[in-house]
Structure 1
């Protein structure tokens, strides 16, 4: 490989790893502000995406009217969701947590039903354990959605620190990269 390509790749790995470690530390130390920042960025994205969809619908000359109307309505709803997120970032975060909690409950029920009726390729013991754990996690998330989000943020931060650190530690020495 070209030495310039190797240097570019090394720089890419180092920069992304350092950003991952920094973001991970911030998420671990300040989980709530990190969640709010992510929600605000997502809100900005939704407003821009909604506005672009409405713009595309309005400028979509020559496209079917059904597509233009659908795109305009969806764009308006997406933009409104973004505005709600920007006005109060906690609302969508709690909604996401509640949806996650419900998903855990549904998964738990499905696993327990699968364990009762049996299905090929799985054994009952681990399936029951999985179902019970899913139900417990779902209940925990539904009872304390904000805490669940903070725990998730801290765990994601720890993962970022681990992945970034591993990338830096596994990067070959500069001398090895020159060969």
Structure 2
């Protein structure tokens, strides 16, 4: 690999690692505003994606009418979801938390059923423990979705800091790159 490619790669790793650490610290220190910001950015994305899909449906000459209508309807729905997100970012965040809580409950019930019925290649005790913990996690998320989102954001921030710091610490020194 030539030296310019190595330098470019180093700069890429350093910049992305520093951004990860900074975003991680922001998520840890200000979890709720970080969640709202992510929801707003997602809302803008949905509005743009919906508008582009409608545009593609309108301009899709030569494509089957069923595709054009489907694409246009989906585009309108996606755009409306984006507008709803921009008006009140808490709504999609709470929907996400409720869906996650329901998923935890379903997973826990499935694990307990698997433990009772018996699943080839698995042990009953760990499966029961996993099922019970999943059900408890689902109940906690459904009872306190805002707290669950805050905890998730803080853990995500910690993960960003750890991954960013690891990338910086594991980057070979410049002197080693010259050899």
Alignment correspondent of 2:43: 43
Which residue is equivalent to 2:142? Answer: 142
Structure-2 separation of matches of 1:87 and 1:52: 20
Q: SS state of the match for residue 63, structure 2?
A: coil
2:71 & 2:81 partners in 1: Cα distance? 15
DSSP 3-state at the match of 1:104:
helix
Q: Give the 3-state SS of the residue equivalent to 1:11 in structure 2.
A: helix
SS for the counterpart of 1:122 is coil
Corresponding residue for 1:161?
161
Q: Give 5+ residue unaligned stretches, structure 2.
A: none
Which aligned segments of 4 or more residues in structure 1 are displaced greater than 2 angstroms?
Answer: none
TM-score, structure 1 normalization? 0.99
- Per-residue CA deviation, residues 26-69 of structure 1 (Å, 9 max, x unaligned), is 00000000000000000000000000000011111111111111
1:85 partnered with 2:82: no
Q: Is the counterpart of residue 121 in structure 1 residue 121 in structure 2?
A: yes
How many residue pairs get aligned? The number is: 179
Compute the displacement of 1:3 (Å): 1.0
How far did 1:121 drift?
Answer: 1.2
Which consecutive unaligned segments of at least 5 residues does structure 1 have?
Answer: none
Alignment of 1:16 with 2:16, yes or no, is yes
